Amino acid sequence: MEKGKQSFIAEARRDQIIEAAIKTLDEIGYVKSSLSQIAKRAGISTALISYHFSNKEDLINHLLTKLLEESTSYIMDHVLAANSAQEKLNAFIKASLSYQNTHPAHNTALIEIVFNARTPENIPYYKLVDDEEEDPILAELKLILYEGQKSGEFKSFHVDVMANVIQGAINEYMFTNPVLTKKVDLSTYINEVVHIISSAVKK
Amino acid sequence: MEKGKQSFIAEARRDQIIEAAIKTLDEIGYVKSSLSQIAKRAGISTALISYHFSNKEDLINHLLTKLLEESTSYIMDHVLAANSAQEKLNAFIKASLSYQNTHPAHNTALIEIVFNARTPENIPYYKLVDDEEEDPILAELKLILYEGQKSGEFKSFHVDVMANVIQGAINEYMFTNPVLTKKVDLSTYINEVVHIISSAVKK
Amino acid sequence: MEKGKQSFIAEARRDQIIEAAIKTLDEIGYVKSSLSQIAKRAGISTALISYHFSNKEDLINHLLTKLLEESTSYIMDHVLAANSAQEKLNAFIKASLSYQNTHPAHNTALIEIVFNARTPENIPYYKLVDDEEEDPILAELKLILYEGQKSGEFKSFHVDVMANVIQGAINEYMFTNPVLTKKVDLSTYINEVVHIISSAVKK
Amino acid sequence: MEKGKQSFIAEARRDQIIEAAIKTLDEIGYVKSSLSQIAKRAGISTALISYHFSNKEDLINHLLTKLLEESTSYIMDHVLAANSAQEKLNAFIKASLSYQNTHPAHNTALIEIVFNARTPENIPYYKLVDDEEEDPILAELKLILYEGQKSGEFKSFHVDVMANVIQGAINEYMFTNPVLTKKVDLSTYINEVVHIISSAVKK
DNA sequence: CATGAATGAGCATTCATTCAT
DNA sequence: AATGAATGAATGCTCATTCAT
C-alpha cells in the first residue's frame, strides 16, 4: 500500500493546513488571512499550500466543507438520539448552541468565511449556504417541525418562518457572545431558548 | 465665517464619500472595497478620501456610525409612535424588518462591515456592536420587554434572552433573503414573527 | 494649459519607462525582463510602472509600437528621398541595414519582443507582424518592386518572393552581427547586398 | 554490462524528455515552457528531468544540439547526393526549406530556443549559433560557393555576404509562414528562390 | 480643496531545484 | 531510476498612504 501511505502523508498535510487556516481565520479574520499568515501558523512555506491546494479558493472551499460537515454531524448525532419531535427540537437547539462553545475557533472560522467570501461572480457565500438543498441542518430543522405538526405534538404555524426564528435565536448568540455571556451563560441561554421555542410550537 | 463655509464643504464631501462607500460595499463587498473603488464611485481621487478621513478604518467607522444611527432612528420613530408595550414590540419587529426592504444597500453595507471589519487588536466588529451601551436598539428592545412585564402586559421570561431571540428572528431574515424570500415574502414573515413572538411574551 | 503640463509629466515618465524597457530587453533579453528589472534601470519603483501602464502586456505593446514606428519612419524617410525604383530599392536596403547600426539597442529590443512575446491565445508575435496590412515596411518594399516592374526598370520576377529574399538579406545580418561583422563591416555588407539584389532585379 | 543497460535506459529517458520539450516549445513557446509543462507532456515528474539533466540550461543545450544535428544531417544528406556546385546549392536551398515543412514542430522549437535562450552572461543564442566553427551548415554553404567559384561555375562575389543572403532567404520564409504561405506555397517559393539565387551566382 | 505621482508592503502564484524515500 | 514533498526566490499586480503642486 505504498500509495496509501503517500496519500496519508498528503492528507495529513492538507489537514494541518486546514487546521492552521481555521486558527488564522479565528485570530485575524478573513480579510487578513493571507496564505503567508496561514503558512506561518502551520510552520510551513506558502508554496507548500499552493502545492496541496490548487487555489486559495480551493483551500477555503475545502475548509468550509469540513466545517459544515463537522457541525452538521455534531448536531445530527444529538438529534438522532432523541425520539419525539419535541425532544428532537430541544436536542437540535441544545446541540447547535453547545457546538459554539465546544468548537469556538471552528465556529468563528465558519462565520468569517460565510460572511466574507464571495464567488467569482461576487455573490456572497451567506446568500448561498442557506439553500435548503445544500444546508442539511436547515432541512432537518424543518423536518422536525413538519413531523411534529403531523404527529399532533406541535400546533399549526408557518414552518419556514418558525425554522428561521429558531435558527436566528441560535445564531444570534454566537455573534453577541462576549457581551451577553457576561450576563447569561450558555446553559441558561439554552434552557431559556428551549423554553421560549417550546411554548411557541407546543399545542 | 470662512471656516464655517469650509467645514460645510468638507462635510458635504465626507457625506459624498460615505454614500459612495455604501454603494461600493453593496456592490462588491467588503473585501474588494478598496479606496480606489470607492473613489471611482464618488467620482473623485483616492487621495481626497485620505484627505477627509485619517484612515480607511476612520472612514469605515464613520460609515458604520451613520448606518447605525440611520437604522436606529428609523426603528425608534416607529416604536415611539406606538403606545402599549405589545404595540411597541410589534412596531419594533415590523420596523426592523421593513428597514431591510426600504434600505437594501444600506443594510447590505451594514452587514458587510459588521461581519468583516476588525479592530487593530483583531476583535471582530460583530463582537463589539451588540454592547448594550453602544447599541441603543438593543437597549430599547429590552426596555420594551421590561416595561411590558412591569405593566403586566407580558408574562415572566428572561429579558436578555428574549431580546436576543427577537433580534435573531429579525437578523436571520436578511441573511437568507434570496432563498426564503421566494417562499415567504416580507409582509408574511413580519406577520408570522409578530404572531410567534406575541404569543411568546403575552400573558 | 495645466492639463497639458500634467500629461507632459506623465508622458515623460512613460517615455522614460519605455526607454528603460528597451535597455532591459537589450541587456538581459525578453525572458528575464521583469517589471522590477525595468524599474531598476529606470530608477523607479515597480508600482510606478503599473501606475503608468495597465499591464505588462500594455507596456510591451506600447514599446513595440514605438520601435516599429521609429524604424519605419527612419526607412521611409530615406526611401522617399530617392527617385527611381532602383534608387528607392537601394535606399531601402541601405536604410534598413543602417538602422541596425545606428539603433542597436532598439533593434535588439525589437527582435526580443517579436520572437518572444505571444498573444494571450499563444500566437507568437513573429507570426503576426509580417501581415502586409500591419507592416508598412513590407508593403513599401513590394510597392517599389511593383513600380520598378511597371516602369520597365526591373525584370519579371515573383514580387512576394523577391521581397522576402530582400527582407531576409537584411534581417539575417542583424542576427549574425558579432561573427560576421568581424569579417564584413556594415558598409561592405550594404554594398554587396545592393549589388546582389540589383543584378537580381535589373532588366 | 549492467552499466551499459542503465545508460541505455537513461538515454531513452533523456530522449523522451527531449521529445517532450520539443512538443512543449512548439505548443506554448519558450517563455511558458517550464519544466512542469515538459514533464506533463512526457508523463513523468519534474524531478526526473532534474535527475537526467543537471540544469534547465543543460536540457535546452542538449535539445538544441539535437535539433541542429538533425536539420544539419537532413540538409547534408541532400547536398551530398548532388554533384556540381550549382546542383549542390540548389539542393541546399531546397532541403533547407523542405525541412521546415517536414519537421514543423522541430523547426518551431529551434526558433523558440535560438531567439529566446541566453547564456548566463546574457548573450543571446542567435548571436552565437552562426559561428562558422559551430555551424556546419553555414560552413557547408560557403564551401559550395567557394568551390563553385574555383571550378568556374560561379562568378565572382563576396562569399560571406552571398551565404548570408541565401540563409536569409531561407530563414525569412519560416518566420512569415502564415501570411506568405497563403499567397506562395513552399514549392513555388523554392523554385523562385532557386531561380533568383542561381542567376545571382551563375557566371 | 483637490489631484496626479509615487512608493513600500503585501498579495497569490509559479518556478527550478533539492532531498528523503 | 523515480517520485512526492518541500522551499526560496521571483513574478505581475493591488493596496493604503504620502506628498508636492
Read off the pLDDT band of A1 (50, 70, 90). Answer: very low
| Residue B132 confidence (pLDDT) | 56
Q: Hey, of D116, D160, D161, D202, which one would you mutate to test binding to chain C, going by the most C CBs within 10 A of its CB? A: D161
Decide if pLDDT at A2 tops 50. no
CA distance B127 to chain A (A): 6
Which has more confidence, A10 or C47?
Answer: C47
- D175 touches C at CB < 8 Å: yes
Residue C168: Cβ-neighbour burial (10 angstroms; 0-12, 13-18, 19+): buried
Query: What whole-number distance in Å separates Cα of residue C129 and Cα of residue C119?
Result: 12
Looking at the structure, do residues A140 and A49 belong to the same domain, yes or no? no
Specify if D73 maps to a domain: yes
Of C195, C68, C84, C69, the C-alpha closest to C145 is: C84
pLDDT at D117 over 70: yes
Q: Read off the pLDDT band of C96 (50, 70, 90).
A: very high
Across the interface, whether the CB atoms of A164 and B164 are under 8 A apart is answered: no
C-alpha span between C1 and B198 (Å, rounded): 70
CA distances from D128 to A124, C180, D33, D74, D131 (A): 57, 11, 22, 22, 6
CB B147 within 8 A of CB B194: no
Position B46 pLDDT exceeds 80: yes
| Residue in the block written with cell 510597392 | C143
Rounded to 5 degrees, φ, ψ at D128 are: -110, -45
- Strand F nucleotides below 7 A of a protein CB? 1-20
Higher pLDDT: D43 or A124? It is: D43
The span from the CA of C91 to the CA of C71, in Å, is 14
Same domain? For D121 and D48 the reply is no
Q: Considering CB atoms only, which of D29, D132, D171 is closest to C124?
A: D29
Q: Are residues D118 and D22 in the same domain?
A: no
CA distance D177 to D165: 18
- Residues of chain C with C-beta less than 8 angstroms from the C-beta of D126: 111, 175
CA dist., res. C43 & res. C23, Å (int): 13
Question: Which 43-102 positions of D have CB less than 7 A from strand F?
Answer: 44-48, 51
Looking at residue B10, what is its pLDDT?
79
- Residue C125 touches chain D, beta carbons under 8 Å: no
Q: How far from the centroid of its chain's Cα atoms is residue B63's Cα? A: 11
Distance from the A164 Cα atom to the nearest Cα atom in chain B, whole angstroms:
6
C188 touches chain D (CB under 8 A): yes
Beta-bridge partner residues of C202: C154
Identify the H or E element spanning B197.
Answer: helix B186-201
**Residue environment code for A131-153, b if the CB has 16+ CB neighbours within 10 A, otherwise e:** eeeebbbbebbbbbbeebbeeeb
Chain D contact probe: residue of C110, C141, C161, C186 with most D CBs at under 10 A: C161
The answer to the question of residue A96 being in a domain is yes
Segment D59-83 shows an average pLDDT of 95
What's the pLDDT score for residue A117? Answer: 87
β-pair partners for A115: none
**Same domain for D118 and D170?**
yes
Domain identity same for A192 and A134: yes
Verify A-B touch: 3 or more CB pairs within 8 A: yes
The phi, psi pair for A128, rounded to 5°, reads: -110, -45
Q: What is the pLDDT of residue A118?
A: 85
Q: Which nucleotides of E are covered by protein (CB under 7 A)?
A: 1-20
CB contact under 8 A, A192 and B132: no
pLDDT of residue A5: 46
Domain holding D77: CATH number? 1.10.357.10
**Helix intervals (H) in B117-157:** 136-151
Q: How far is the CA of A38 from the C1' of E12 (A)?
A: 13
Supply the mean pLDDT for chain D.
90
Q: Are D175 and C125 in contact (CB under 8 A)?
A: no
Residues 6+ apart with CB under 8 A from C110: C64, C67, C68, C71
C178 part of contact set with chain D, CB < 8 Å: yes
The string of pLDDT tens digits covering residues D36-51 is 999 999 999 999 999 9
Q: Centre a 10 Å sphere on the Cβ of residue A191 and count the other Cβ atoms it contains.
A: 16
- Minimal CA separation from D149 to chain C, in Å: 16
- Please report whether residue D47 resides in a domain: yes
Q: Give CA separation, A32 vs A26, A41, A116, B152, B162, in Å.
A: 11, 13, 11, 50, 35
In chain D, whose CA is at the least distance from the CA of C168?
D168
- Within window 49-68 on C, which residues have Cβ closer than 7 Å to strand F? 50, 55-57
Q: How confident is the model at residue C8 (pLDDT cuts 50, 70, 90)?
A: confident
Q: What is the pLDDT of residue D36?
A: 97
**Structural domain count, chain D:** 2
Residue C59's CB is within 10 A of a number of other CB atoms, namely 20
Task: For residue A13, give the nucleotide whose C1' atom is nearest its CA.
Answer: F5
The top-scoring range by mean pLDDT among B21-25, B182-186, C114-118, D177-181 is B21-25
Q: Is residue A58 part of a domain?
A: no
Name the β-bridge partners of D118.
Answer: D124
pLDDT cut 90: percent of chain B above it: 76
Tell me: the pLDDT tens digits for C145-196? 999 999 999 999 999 999 999 999 999 988 765 666 777 889 999 999 999 9
Contact A159, B183 (CB under 8 A): no
Q: Do A192 and A124 sit in the same domain of this protein?
A: yes
- CA/C1' separation C44–F19 (Å): 16
> Which are the contacts of A138, defined by CB distance < 8 A and separation ≥ 6?
A130, A132, A163, A167
- Rounded Cα gap, residues A110 and A71, in angstroms: 10
- The answer to whether the C-beta of A31 is closer than 7 A to strand F is no
Through-space distance between the first and last CA atoms of chain B, rounded to whole angstroms: 60
Does A68 lie in the same domain as A25? no
**Residue carrying C-alpha cell 414552518:** A159
- C192: which chain D residues are within 8 Å (Cβ-Cβ)? 157-158, 161-162
pLDDT, average across residues D95-117: 93
- Cβ–Cβ < 8 Å for B124, A29: yes
pLDDT for res B179: 61
Residues C103 and C195 in one domain: yes
The answer on A67 and A96 residing in a single domain is: yes
Encode C35-85 in three state secondary structure: HHHHHHHHCCCHHHHHHHCCCHHHHHHHHHHHHHHHHHHHHHHHHHCCCCH
A82-91, B44-53, B179-188, D128-137: segment of lowest average pLDDT: D128-137
Judgement on whether residues D126 and D175 belong to the same structural domain of the protein:
yes
Which subunits count as partners of chain D given 3+ CB pairs below 8 Å? C
Q: What is the rounded distance in angstroms from the CA atom of residue C90 to the CA atom of residue D64?
A: 37
Q: Which of A75, A74, A49 is nearest to A60 (CA)?
A: A49
- Residues D67 and B26: their CA atoms lie apart, in Å, by 59
Q: Which residue from B111, B172, B195 is facing A164, i.e. has the nearest CB?
A: B172
- DSSP character for B39? H
CATH number reported for the structural domain that contains residue C11 in this entry: 1.10.10.60
User: Does B200 sit within 8 Å of A199, measured CB to CB?
Assistant: yes
Report d(CA B62, CA B15) in Å as an integer: 10
The residue-averaged pLDDT of D49-64 equals 96
Per mean pLDDT, which of A13-27, B120-134, B163-177, D126-140 is the most reliable? A13-27
- Flag whether residue A154 sits within 8 Å of chain B, measured between CB atoms: no
- Look at residue D58 and tell me if it is in a domain: no
Across D61-84, average pLDDT: 95
For residue A197, pLDDT over 70 is answered with: yes
Question: Mean pLDDT, to the nearest integer, of D60-69?
Answer: 95
Rg (CA), chain B: 19
Are the beta carbons of D121 and D60 closer than 8 angstroms?
no
For range A165-179, the mean pLDDT: 82
Tens of pLDDT, residues A50-67? 999 999 999 999 999 999
D30-67 in b/e burial notation, b at 16+ Cβ within 10 A? beebebebbbebbebeeeebeebbeebeebbbbbbebb
Whether residue A179 lies inside any domain: the answer is yes
* C-alpha A135, offset from chain centre: 10
CA proximity to C45, closest of C16, C65, C25, C23: C16
Could you give the percent of chain C with pLDDT greater than 70?
92
Domain match, A83 and A110 both: yes
With contacts defined as CB-CB under 8 Å, which chain A residues touch B165? 165, 168-169, 172, 193, 196
With cut-offs at 50, 70 and 90, classify the pLDDT of residue A3.
very low
Last residue of a domain, one of D30, D53, D76: D53
Q: Does D177 touch chain C (CB under 8 A)?
A: yes
What the block records as the C-alpha cell of A123 is 455573490
Q: Are residues A135 and A153 in the same domain?
A: yes
Give the nearest partner residue to C168 out of D116, D122, D172, using CB atoms.
Answer: D172
Q: How many angstroms separate the CA atoms of C128 and C134, rounded?
A: 9
Q: Closest approach of chain C CAs to the CA of D146, in angstroms?
A: 16
- Give the cell for residue D121: 552572461
Whole-structure pTM value: 0.89
Q: What pLDDT score was predicted for residue C4?
A: 43
The grid cell for C169 is 538579406
C44-CA/E7-C1' distance, Å: 9
Whole domain around residue B19: which residue ranges? 1-53
CA distances from B99 to B20, B76, B94, B144, B183 (A): 20, 12, 8, 19, 20
C35 touches strand F (CB under 7 A): yes
Q: Which residues are B202's β-sheet partners? A: B154
The position carrying cell 493546513 is A17
Residue C168, in any domain of the structure:
yes
CB contact under 8 Å between D118 and C168, yes or no, is: no
Q: Does a structural domain hold residue C134?
A: yes
pLDDT, tens digit, for every residue of B70-91? 999 999 999 999 999 999 999 9
Q: Give the per-residue pLDDT at D131.
A: 58
Please tell me which residue, C119 or B116, carries the higher pLDDT value.
B116
Res A4 pLDDT > 50: no
Give the distance, in angstroms, between residue A41 CA and nucleotide E6 C1': 34
Is A60 within 8 Å of A117 (Cβ atoms)? yes
Q: Are A69 and B70 in contact (CB under 8 A)?
A: no
